Every structure is written in C-alpha cells, then in structure tokens.
C-alpha cells in the first residue's frame, strides 16, 4: 500500500524532495526512506539519537508533521545547503559602500536559494544632497533596481529561485514612488513590496489628518494621510501590490522587543525578522488529526495534537544546529535567539470534517481554540527543552514575560517560563504550504480555504504525451470514500464563495495565538468596489491582524481559477476552469499559441564585430505582420568562430521561440543587455557594452526601433500604460514558468501552480 493519498503527492515527492545522486538515480527508495533520512539527521545531536530518531519518524509518518521543503529536501543529504527558507538581511547603510556590501550579502544568500527581505527606508530619498561629491541622491528605488538585476542574474545562473521582499516606511519621502513602482510590469519583477504602516499613520488616516514625510529628522513635505492611504489602496486594487504591514503592532507584540527592532519580513510576510534573521518553518497537518470525520463525534484529537507539537518543536530546534548558513551573521542571529515558526496546514479541511463552515463564527472559534492549543504546547515544550539544554542565549525572563505576546499567555505557561527559561524566543508562524500540502495528499493550504474541490491536471509522460488526471481536495476525497455519491453538505465552501470579511475573520482568529505572523491571501471579487476594497484593510487593522494581502483578479493581475458545478453525481463538487478571456484591446497582445510561419518573411541582417575577436557575428532578424503591426518573428545568429557555435545556436532557438509567441517581446532586449561578462566588456560606438550577449541585445533593440515595434532605446511597449494584456487561449489560467501547465492560482500571497507546486516565492 502506498502512503500517498493522491498521484500528485508521489510526483511532487519524486520531483522535489526525493534524494537522488548526481546521475539522477534515486537514493530514497520510498517516502519512508525520506522520513527516516530526516529523522536520523535531526536526532544526531540528541543524547539518545536512536530513541529520538524513532520519535521523529513517528511525527513525520503519514504526513502528520510537515517540515518546510528545504528541510525535507536537504536534511541528511550531506550537502552544503541551508535548511532555512528565508532571511531578512542586515540594515542597509546610507552610503554607496554600505549599499553594495548589502548587495553582495544578498547575492551570497540567494546563491544558496534563500529568499530575502530588505527595508529600503534607510536610504536617503531621491534628490537629497550627497555630501562631499556635489551630487543628488538617486533614491532607494534606483538601488532596488540594482537588487532586482542581481536576483535575475543569480536565477539565470541556475540557482533555485529565491524571492525578495522590499519594505518602506509610510513616512519616507519616496513612499509615493515606492507605492507606484509595481504599476510598471517590467520593473522590480523579482520583488514583493509592502508598506510599513505605523499606528500614528492609521490614526491620521482615520482622523483625515496631515502626514509628514521625513528622512533623518528633516521634513521633506507634508501630505494628507488619507490621500496617501488611498494611493496605497488604489495601487493594490489595480496591481495586487503593495501589501500592508502593521509594523508598530509587530514590534509591540514581539517577544524580543527588548533585544531587536523589526523593519522587514521574509518574502511571504509570515516571518517579521530583525537584521540577519532567518525563518525556520514547519506545519502540523490538522487534516490528519480529526477523529470520526463527518461523523456525529467528529473532533480534532487535541491530546495527539499536543504530543505532536512537542515533538515538532524539538525537531525544529535541532534544525537550528544542523543547518548551514550563507553568512556568519545569520548563523549567529539564529543561534542567539533560536526562533522557529511552527504553523498548520489543512485547517480548512479539518473544519469541513468537523462540520464547520470556513469563515463562520463557529469556524473562527475553532481556529482560535486549536491555535491556542498549539501555542500552549509549543511554549511548554520549549520550556522543557530549556531545562534540558538551556534557554536561548539572549533570554531575559522579566523582559521576555513583559512583551506584548506573553502578557496574554496562560499563567501556567508564564510560570514555566519563569522557572525553567525557554529554548526558543518565538515559536509559531503560519507559512505558505503549497507544495508540502500537495505532498500530503492535496490538503488545504495553511489556513486558506479550499480553493477548488476538484481540478484536472495534465501530466507529461515520458514519451512526450500528456494525460489528464483528477486532483481532488483531501477532505472531498475522504467524503467520497465514506459517503459515496452523496451530495456535499452546505458547509462545504471554497475561496470563490467566501466574502473578504470571512477571510479577515479567520486571519484575525489565528493571529491571536501566533507570535510571528501569517501568510494569507484575502481573495476579493473582481467587481468589488474600491470603497469596499479599502474596508477590507481597515477591518484587518481593526481586528488585530499584523498585515494584509489581497488579490483581486483583473486584466493586469491575471485571472484566477473560477469554479463551475460538476454534473451530475455531486453537484456541489466544483472543478477548476478559467474564466472567459477579456475582449482584446490595446496594442500589446500576448498569444499563448505560436504564430504560423508564412513561406516568406522580410528581414534584415546585421554584422556585429566584437573587439579582439577574429570573426564577426551575423544576426538576421525576420519580421511578421500580425494584427496590422510589424513585429519580430525569428532570429538567426551565425559566426565562423566555433567557440561561439553552441551558444549562438541556443540563442537562435530560444529567442525565436519567444518571438513566435507574439506579444511584447521587448523584454528579450532587457534581459540580454543585462548580461555581464566577468572577463570584461568593450567600448563600442562610444558606449560601454558589458558582454557579447549585451551587444546582441543592442542589435535586436535597434531593429525593433527601426520597424516601429518600440519607440526608442529602453522604451519597450512593456512600459506603455495603455497596454493591455490579453490571453487569447480560452479555458486556461496563467502558465506556470516551471512546468508550462496553465492554471496558476494566487495562494498565500504567491502565484502557485496546482500541477507541480511551483511558487513565485520559491
């Protein structure tokens, strides 16, 4: 009997987590081997490794405890990898030397695949004086562009994708430019962005009062707080960013407020972290802990929950010592505070099994009860660990117990901390769990509602063909197994049928007992009014949330999966399909099926002579006229230099493949011109060109200008505010950049593929 509840689970394991050698041969024969590898690795530092290995294995068995993907993929492999998912980098000094030292540290961290967060509020605003050089500052956004290019370069070198989060305070003089930055679809593509909103700002918004924009004690200008709030809301309404982080609330509730100040989060927002802080994540699978599901006595086994949490805390504490870190500052920070982020997944499925409608008062009360139980068990387990192994090095009993989070903790837990100390400074967080939830049999992700009860997934076979398989939500499959073809009860709801206030109610209920934060997307209907949309954020503020992330599908952000009823067996079961495509308009059309090649095409051939190279490169670009507009269709790159043969053929094929998809392909120029040769570039026609590839990009750009496809150098259609993105292929959602399947969904703040688990945030 397989341990996998669904075919997709085994495919995810084999693709992402199964240990294989350099040749691709499997070293983990079964999922049990993977569990054993993790358990053995995390028990190695225990006084009785064999006994704890068995305990850890039991926690992992049947996907009851789900360590984060980096732990599953890396623990016990002997490879030089970090087991931490994301980092907040050091404070950026307001100097050129300090900024680029920060860039170096970011590159080293991302090279190992870690996502990073940065606060750019410390960089002086655009136009400010730069003393000693008689110049004006270029501002934080210009340096964010540098970070973005670095991330793109690291990714192009083949490293695992690591997303970035950029934050900026709501009183920074460049905050308005920061808010609008993501309205340009070509800019900051590797960043999530969030505004650090203070208590004083929210008070000013409610009072419609003035708001000073300040840097280094100097007031640059004054605006109305409500006007600035409306700017944030309008950008988020139109472009899904920036997010909002209630930073004063985060610092006030931080267990370590006496030892650190937080100004940034990891890319998905569930871990507010200090400089060089790292997030270590794992989730309790609540869907596996419900007894008598759908029966009269259906309930979560809270005794088993407490035991499982205690074991999970010990495992995660051991990860702190087992992991490697990209930077020594990150290792020191992790070991001084030993913070972990234990969360949950499968909450919505567990609620379905016990008969509670997600978003209802009953569901919110159950969520608060279960998260309270997890918090109690976590803190008590950590006090026992402190008695056995010692408290975290920066522990100060009185200061710790006086923090905002601990003031509301149960008195017996406070007494245990006072008596024994505590091993881990912070213990709970609710992270994105998209891939590990698929691994566990497609349980609902994190504390999100079920997105779609059933959807169809296309699977690429070894012979190149594709087959279709049904992917069913874990709770729905359990209902089918127990009840056959009986219709689903009324409390079976999904993300499409919930109001935004239902989402906020659940986030607020969970936040009461989560000492870090929560990754959660509040899905809003496309036709929600702007005023109602703003009310969602104000409700999140009023109900005690630490941040708010929404997603409203539109022509800019892209469609999400919609639902339609399945006929005739179980009318309430929904399947995933794409909403009707918008009517084509505007100048830019993205065509998801390749254009057909006519028998003859018009084009031009360009000669490129790279300095110090014996042979020239010849670049032929042929065009097609489509929808009344001339656009590049294919490229041929040739050279007599055999050293260039492989990469010129590769460029010919790849660029032509992009061109034949149509749409605004001017980004090809941007990508090529950003390539730097470590051996040095060359001066050509009075300009420094960083590489041969950049020179080729310049040739393609000049051709695009000559045929009228773009207006000028650096002026691709990608920046045209009138451009509209149109998907001409019906019945599909956005394509996954990893597996190519259509149907990307916005889950927990990240565009996520239901087919392979790929996430924008890594």
List the catalytic residues: 266, 268, 270
How many other CB atoms are there within 10 angstroms of residue 122's CB atom? 20
How many other CB atoms are there within 10 angstroms of residue 15's CB atom? 13
What's the DSSP call for residue 122? Answer: G
> Strand 115-119 and strand 164-169: pairing?
parallel
Give the distance from CA 339 to its chain's centroid.
20
Instruction: Give the bridge partners for 472, in sequence order.
Output: 454
How many other CB atoms are there within 10 angstroms of residue 110's CB atom? 28
- Which run of H or E residues covers position 205? helix 199-207
User: What are the C-alpha distances in Å from 139 to residues 143, 162, 606?
Assistant: 7, 25, 38
Cα gap 460→466, rounded to integer Å: 5
| Residue written as token pair 């009075």 | 686
How long is the chain? 762
Sign of CA dihedral 711, 715, 718, 721: negative
Rg (CA), the chain: 27
Question: End-to-end distance of the chain based on CA atoms, in angstroms?
Answer: 32
Sign of CA dihedral 400, 401, 406, 410: positive
How many other CB atoms are there within 10 angstroms of residue 361's CB atom? 11
Is-contact 442 576, C-beta < 8 A? no
Question: Structure tokens of 705?
Answer: 């200008």
Is-contact 196 119, C-beta < 8 A? yes
Residue 759: left if φ>0, alpha if ψ -120 to 50, beta else—which one?
beta
Half-sphere exposure of 232 (CA within 13 A, CB side): 29
- Nearest CA-CA partner of 378 in 355, 344, 352: 344
> Strand 281-285 and strand 341-345: pairing?
parallel
What lies within 8 Å, CB to CB, of 121 at 6+ separation is 140, 167, 168, 169, 172, 196, 263
- Which run of H or E residues covers position 618? strand 617-626
Question: Structure tokens of 336?
Answer: 């001084």
What's the DSSP call for residue 16? Answer: I
Give the distance from CA 527 to its chain's centroid.
26
Is-contact 443 528, C-beta < 8 A? no
In three-state secondary structure terms, 280 is coil
How many other CB atoms are there within 10 angstroms of residue 544's CB atom? 14
Is-contact 618 606, C-beta < 8 A? yes
Question: Structure tokens of 237?
Answer: 């309404």
Based on the number of CB atoms within 10 Å of its own CB, is 344 exposed (0-12), middle (13-18) or buried (19 or more)?
Answer: buried
Q: What angle do CA 102, 103, 109 make, to 5 degrees?
A: 90
């Amino acid at each position: 009997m397989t341990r996998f509840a669904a075919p997709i689970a085994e495919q995810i394991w084999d693709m992402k987590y199964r240990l294989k050698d350099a040749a691709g041969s499997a070293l983990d024969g079964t999922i049990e081997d993977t569990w054993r590898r993790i358990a053995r690795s995390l028990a190695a530092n225990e006084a009785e490794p064999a006994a704890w290995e068995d305990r850890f294995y039991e926690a992992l068995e049947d996907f009851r405890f789900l360590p984060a993907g980096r732990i599953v993929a890396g623990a016990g492999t002997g490879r030089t990898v970090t087991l931490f998912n994301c980092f907040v980098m050091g404070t950026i000094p307001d100097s050129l030397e300090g900024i680029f030292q920060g860039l170096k540290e970011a590159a080293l961290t991302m090279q190992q695949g870690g996502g990073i967060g940065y606060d750019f509020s410390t960089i002086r605003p655009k136009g400010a004086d730069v003393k000693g050089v008689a110049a004006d500052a270029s501002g934080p956004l210009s340096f964010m562009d540098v970070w973005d290019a670095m991330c793109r370069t690291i990714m192009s070198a083949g490293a695992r994708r690591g997303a970035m989060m950029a934050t900026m305070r709501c009183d920074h003089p460049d905050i308005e430019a920061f808010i609008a930055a993501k309205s340009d679809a070509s800019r900051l593509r590797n960043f999530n962005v969030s505004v650090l909103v203070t208590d004083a700002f929210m008070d000013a918004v409610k009072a419609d009062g003035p708001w000073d924009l300040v840097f280094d004690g100097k007031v640059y200008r004054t605006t109305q707080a409500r006007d600035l709030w409306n700017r944030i809301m309008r950008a988020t309404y139109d472009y899904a960013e920036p997010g909002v982080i209630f930073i004063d609330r985060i610092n006030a509730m931080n267990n370590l407020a006496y030892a650190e100040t937080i100004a940034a989060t990891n890319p998905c927002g569930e871990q507010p972290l200090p400089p060089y802080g790292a997030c270590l994540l794992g989730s309790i699978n609540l869907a596996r802990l419900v007894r008598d599901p759908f029966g009269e006595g259906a309930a979560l086994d809270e005794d088993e929950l407490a035991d499982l949490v205690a074991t999970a805390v010990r495992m995660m504490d051991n990860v702190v010592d087992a992991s490697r870190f990209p930077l020594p500052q990150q290792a020191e920070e992790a070991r001084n505070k030993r913070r972990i982020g234990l969360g949950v997944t499968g909450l919505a499925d567990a609620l379905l099994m016990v008969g509670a409608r997600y978003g209802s008062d009953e569901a919110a009360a159950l969520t608060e009860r279960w998260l309270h139980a997890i918090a109690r068990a976590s803190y008590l387990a950590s006090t026992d660990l402190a008695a056995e192994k010692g408290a975290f090095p920066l522990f100060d009993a009185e200061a710790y117990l006086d923090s905002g989070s601990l003031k509301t903790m149960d008195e017996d837990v406070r007494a245990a901390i006072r008596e024994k100390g505590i091993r881990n400074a912070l213990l709970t967080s609710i992270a994105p769990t998209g891939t590990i939830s698929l691994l566990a049999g497609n349980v609902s992700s994190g504390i999100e509602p079920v997105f779609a009860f059933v959807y169809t997934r296309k699977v690429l076979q070894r012979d190149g063909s594709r087959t279709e398989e049904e992917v069913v939500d874990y709770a729905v499959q359990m209902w089918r197994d127990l009840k056959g073809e009986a219709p689903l009860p009324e409390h079976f709801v999904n993300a499409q049928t919930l109001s935004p206030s239902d989402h906020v109610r659940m986030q607020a209920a969970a936040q009461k007992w989560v000492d870090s934060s929560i990754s959660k997307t509040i899905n809003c209907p496309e036709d929600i009014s702007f005023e109602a949309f703003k009310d969602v954020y104000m409700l999140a503020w009023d109900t005690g949330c630490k941040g708010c992330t929404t997603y409203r599908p539109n022509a800019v952000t892209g469609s999400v999966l919609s639902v339609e009823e399945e006929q005739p067996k179980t009318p309430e079961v929904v399947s995933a399909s794409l909403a009707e495509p918008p009517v084509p308009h505007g100048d830019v059309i993205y065509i998801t099926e390749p254009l057909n090649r006519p028998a003859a095409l018009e084009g031009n051939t360009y000669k490129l002579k790279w300095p110090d190279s014996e042979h020239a490169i010849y670049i032929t670009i042929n065009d097609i006229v489509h929808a009344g507009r001339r656009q590049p269709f294919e490229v041929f790159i040739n050279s007599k230099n055999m050293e260039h043969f492989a990469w010129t053929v590769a460029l010919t094929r790849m660029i032509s493949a992009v061109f034949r998809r149509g749409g605004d392909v001017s980004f090809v120029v941007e990508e090529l011109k950003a390539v730097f040769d470590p051996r040095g570039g060359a001066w050509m026609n009075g300009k420094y060109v960083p590489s041969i590839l950049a020179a080729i990009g310049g040739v393609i750009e000049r051709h695009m200008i000559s045929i009228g496809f773009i207006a000028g150098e650096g002026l691709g259609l990608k920046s045209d505010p009138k451009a509209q993105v149109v998907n001409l292929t019906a019945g599909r959602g956005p394509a996954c950049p990893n597996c190519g399947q259509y149907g990307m969904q916005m889950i927990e703040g990240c565009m996520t593929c239901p087919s392979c688990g790929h996430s924008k945030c890594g």
